[in-house]
Amino acid sequence: MLLLKRCLVVASLLLFSAATLAQVNIYSSRKEALILPLLQQFTADTGIQVKLLTGKDDALLRRLALEGMASPADLLITTDVARLHRAKQMQLTQAVDNGVLQQVVPVAWRDKDHHWFGVTSRARPIVYAPGRVAVEQLGRYEDLADSQWRGRLCLRSSDNVYNQSLVAAALIANGPEQTLNWMQGMVANLSKPPAGGDTDQLKAVAAGICDLTLVNTYYLARLQRSDSRVDNAVAGQLAVFWPNQSDRGAHFNISGMALTKASKHKQHAIALMEYMVSEQAQRWYADVNNEYPVVAGVPMPDVLAAYGQPKADTVSLTRLGELNQQVIKLMDQARWR
């Protein structure tokens, strides 16, 4: 009887150890409310436990670098291809040769070496005040350098990674000389020095400080879906224009995920990566974050569908990440502060 009890205790300990291994540790720049319910559903469906640590994008990269191979993180979830490429350059990630991910995530929205994969996509169109700007005046990103917009344009600073990736796309399309001239023209058209985030630019347009700006659509969607009447009033004064529809298309970027080099639970982390691109997860994640699904056939949230279905630039996001440092130097040369 004593031997049997000991065997049962050992068996219980072994089962407990196996159970504790069935987990995934995530470093995410998404706020907890915007991702945790989906992770909890993953646990309910698979039995794999998830531990979530949230923080600022660049701070998470620094933490991963400092922790090295001792890092508990299995999966990095962050925004913008430039940060994902930076994580790869810093040797914080590893390749994932997975048929599901390669089949459903479009080629342009995943790393050429399979280090990162898009989870949602996000667009950066022109947002303007219809009462002060006629839609016929708008056309291409490049047109924002025209003198008609002198003193009428608001922009975030050049240290904003969303603007850096937008400029990288322009650099690929137009070359360094034209891109520099374009940025210098936009700087000359600013109504005020760059300051604040995307929401601040939207509020500035609504307040009449400027007439148009460049922002990611989910910021406008947040204002529209907010419980605040003030936010709703701001959104009600604005409209979306999709630039470059006659040529390369509007700029899209991604939020994405990457398996960390230090992952101790690789199999379970890849299972979560597959789950993130399932139709169920894509619907929920896109709707809660006001972003576009990356998987074909999954409908976009209603708030985004109301903006129209634009032609998107199909430039490789890998290339945008590779050009990031060159872009920063070019933006500095243009005196975009």
Alpha-carbon 223 to chain mean position: 18
pLDDT given at position 212: 98
**130 and 55, same structural domain?**
no
The Cα–Cα gap between 252 and 101 comes to 19
Q: Is the pLDDT assigned to residue 133 strictly greater than 80? A: yes
Average pLDDT over residues 291-307: 95
**109 and 42, same structural domain?**
yes
- Label residue 98 exposed, middle or buried (CB < 10 Å: 0-12, 13-18, 19+): middle
The Cα–Cα gap between 51 and 35 comes to 12
- Which of 193, 174, 190 lies closest to 182, judged by CA? 174
Query: What is the full DSSP assignment across 213-282?
Result: EE--HHHHHHHHH-S-HHHHHHHTT-EEE---TTTT-B-EEEEEEEEBTT-S-HHHHHHHHHHHTSHHHH
Q: Is the pLDDT assigned to residue 21 strictly greater than 80? A: no
Q: How many domains does the chain have?
A: 2
Residue 12 — very low, low, confident or very high, per pLDDT cuts 50/70/90?
very low
**167 and 22, same structural domain?**
no
Torsions phi, psi for 210 (to 5 deg): -145, 175
- % of the chain at pLDDT higher than 70: 94
- % of the chain at pLDDT higher than 90: 91
Residue 309 lies in a domain: no
The 3-state DSSP class for residue 255 equals: strand
**269 and 162, same structural domain?**
no
In this predicted model, what pLDDT tens digit does every residue of 258-280 receive, in sequence order? 999 999 999 999 999 999 999 99
In this predicted model, what pLDDT tens digit does every residue of 54-63 receive, in sequence order? 999 999 999 9
pLDDT given at position 17: 38
The amino acid sitting at 30 is R
Average pLDDT over residues 17-36: 82
**268 and 223, same structural domain?**
no
CATH number, position 257: 3.40.190.10
**197 and 58, same structural domain?**
no
**227 and 150, same structural domain?**
yes
pLDDT given at position 42: 96
pLDDT given at position 9: 29
pLDDT given at position 153: 98
Q: Is the pLDDT assigned to residue 335 strictly greater than 70? A: yes
pLDDT given at position 6: 34
- Per DSSP, which regions of the chain are E strands? 23-28, 49-54, 75-79, 117-123, 126-128, 153-154, 212-214, 239-241, 252-259, 292-293
- What domain range is 84 assigned to? 12-121+253-300
- Which of 241, 7, 218 lies closest to 126, judged by CA? 241
**266 and 243, same structural domain?**
no
pLDDT given at position 179: 98
The amino acid sitting at 201 is Q
Torsions phi, psi for 228 (to 5 deg): -90, 130
Q: Is the pLDDT assigned to residue 202 strictly greater than 80? A: yes
**263 and 222, same structural domain?**
no
The Cα–Cα gap between 337 and 333 comes to 10
122 forms beta bridges with 253
The 3-state DSSP class for residue 71 equals: coil
Residue 19 — very low, low, confident or very high, per pLDDT cuts 50/70/90?
very low
The overall average pLDDT reported for the chain is: 92
Tell me, yes or no, if the pTM score tops 0.85.
yes
Q: How many CB atoms lie within 10 A of CB 215?
A: 25
